Structure formats: C-alpha cells, structure tokens
Amino acid sequence: MAHKPADENVAGAHELETAAEPTKDAWRLCSDAVNLMETLITEGVLEDAGGLLMDAITALAEAGKRHTQGKPLRLSGSGIQAVRAVLEDYASAIDVLPARTMIRAHRLTERRLIDIMQGRKMPHDVEVISC
C-alpha cells in the first residue's frame, strides 16, 4: 500500500494520545493538517460537517501552551476526539481534492499564519504557538 500524507497525521495524533513524551513533530503534523482544514472550510471548499474544527484548533493551541510551560504535549479527552475527527475529514479530503486546490490551501494557510504572527488576527483566531 502506498504511503499517504494523512497516515503521518494519524500517527502524530496517536503519538499525542499515547506516547510518554510526545514530540513537537507529532504536534506540528496535526496542527498543519487542522490549519489546512480550516482554510479549506473558510474558503468554502469543504464544510465542517462535524462542527469540531474550532474544538480541534483550541485543543492543539492548549497543548502547545502547556508545552511552553514545560508540560508534555497532551490533548484533552474532548480535544483528542475533535482532532481525530478533523484529521479523518482531512484524510478524506486529500484523497479527492485536486492538487491545485491543495496547493492553494497551503499558500493561503501560510499567508494567514504569517498575518497572525504579525498581529493581524481574525476574531476567532487563537494564539499561534510554535513548539
């Protein structure tokens, strides 16, 4: 079976859930996928069918904040469920969306993160955490 990018995201989520010391890479894989889903949803390409996108974003931001305080990169119980659901939607999306759409989503996501880091936030934005 061919390797899929979504496999890495699932592995990252599993690490955040079960590893004694989850790595920053696991958190980044999940955060990147969730950020891309946010772009795909806000751009109208996809819908937040489960209504869990903001819960997943918040859960990852909280885990990042805890890590900056010297604590492990852990997700809450509800955070695990939200992140898993969004990652499942992401895996389904990348199987069917054209490469052009995904490239555009990557570019828009990168621009948005740069804007946030430069203080240009939208009302629903959470703090950008760099683990």
CB contact at 8 A, 86 and 52: yes
Closest CA to 68 of 26, 127, 23, 129: 129
CA distance 83 to 25: 15
Confidence of residue 1 (pLDDT cuts 50, 70, 90): very low
| Type of residue numbered 36 | L
pLDDT in tens, 81-114: 999 999 999 999 999 999 999 999 999 999 988 8
Query: What per-residue confidence (pLDDT) applies to 131?
Result: 54
Neighbours of 96 (CB within 10 A): 7
Domain ranges of the chain: 5-117
pLDDT in tens, 18-46: 888 999 999 999 999 999 999 999 999 99
Report, as an integer, the average pLDDT of 8-21: 88
Please state, rounded to an integer, the average pLDDT across all residues of the chain: 88
Q: How many CA atoms lie within 13 A of 10 on its CB side?
A: 11
Query: What per-residue confidence (pLDDT) applies to 119?
Result: 79
CB contact at 8 A, 34 and 12: no
Q: Residues 6 or more apart from 119 whose CB is under 8 A from it?
A: none
CA distance 79 to 39: 20
Residue 2 confidence (pLDDT) above 80: no
Query: What per-residue confidence (pLDDT) applies to 113?
Result: 86
Report, as an integer, the average pLDDT of 49-66: 92
Report, as an integer, the average pLDDT of 104-125: 83
